[in-house]
Amino acid sequence: MNARWSGRWAPLNAPTWSTDMKLTAHQIEQFDRDGYLFFPSIFTPAEMKVLLDEVPKLYALRRPENVREKDSEAVRTNFAAHLYSEPFARLARHPRMVEPVVQLFDEQVYMHQFKINGKMAFAGDVWQWHQDYGTWMNDDLMPTARAMNVAIFLDEVNEFNGPLMFIPGSHKQGALPAGHDTSTTSYPLWTIDNDAIRKLVDKGGIVAPKGPAGSMILFHGCLVHASTANLSPWNRVAVYLSLCAVSNHIRRFKRPEYIAHRDFTPIAPLADDCLLKPYPVDLPWKDGTPSSAYETEKAA
């Protein structure tokens, strides 16, 4: 496998997913080396339809959880849908994304952040080069990088609609120096300067996993990544679930609770068919965002 190729590919020895969600020794080695694993079409079209049908309803809400693009009404990010949307509450407990992370950390995990990023056709803005752990460390006082992201494509991702770009192996650098960019887009981000990116790319190259709706990426919290604006006529909506080892929970509540969650209860996975069957789930924010979610700077 050529780690610098940016076309469609599947990890070597990709499993046939069922109720056994264990990563192979080869996949664990690959994750350690590259900082990510890509699983094309791990969810079925029927499962994705359940989620995608829900997105317009969520994006239409005038809730604080919807962050809109700087110069348009297009939603850039929807936060915390798993607390008020039944389909996404079930996704948040799906074994296909929870169990591999538990295996890699050898510890139970909680939901640190849940977002539906809407890089909408013609309107989706850039995400600058950054590490997610940089934000979790600087804003939330997360002690170590024992947290990672799971990205699930709700739309097909192609070379034109702003795919995620990764620098393979960049997670090995740990937390890199970053500046707090509060002006480029509507969402503040701890970003990495261009000189550092050049050096990382000279060493690791750039990849951009692409594939059909239902594909999934696991990637390390320190993996440097970005995405370009979406100038195409195709939406690129994806769900990002940030799962953190329970012992590594955040120590500071600087950000609202709908952005950085304060419930460190381990996730209890549902059955593998939970997107297609109405398993009961709690929806504590169904009737609105609680006032406590806005409170910040509390001691953890």
Query: What does the pLDDT read at residue 89?
Result: 98
What is the SS3 assignment for 154?
Answer: coil
pLDDT classification of 1: cutoffs 50, 70, 90: very low
Distances (CA, A) of 145 to 200, 232, 250, 266: 19, 34, 11, 17
What's phi and psi for 68, nearest 5 deg?
A: -100, 160
For the record, the structure tokens of 72 come out as 């348009």
What's the N-to-C CA distance of the chain in angstroms? Answer: 44
Query: At residue 4, does pLDDT exceed 70?
Result: no
Q: Around Cβ 29, how many Cβ atoms within 10 Å?
A: 11
Distances (CA, A) of 214 to 53, 62, 104, 107: 14, 28, 22, 26
Query: What is the average pLDDT value for the chain, to the nearest integer?
Result: 88
Query: What does the pLDDT read at residue 70?
Result: 67
pLDDT digits (tens, 9 = 90+) for 274-300: 999 999 999 999 999 999 999 997 544
pTM of the prediction? 0.88
Q: Using CA atoms, how far apart are residues 223 and 36, in angstroms rounded to an integer?
A: 8
Instruction: Report the largest interatomic distance among the alpha carbons of the chain, rounded to a whole angstrom.
Output: 50
Query: What does the pLDDT read at residue 7?
Result: 28
pLDDT digits (tens, 9 = 90+) for 73-102: 788 889 999 999 999 999 999 999 999 999
Cβ partners under 8 Å of residue 164, min gap 6: 151, 157, 208, 209, 217, 225, 226, 227
How much is the average pLDDT of 164-179?
91
Instruction: Give the residue with greater pLDDT, 71 vs 17.
Output: 71
Query: What does the pLDDT read at residue 291?
Result: 95
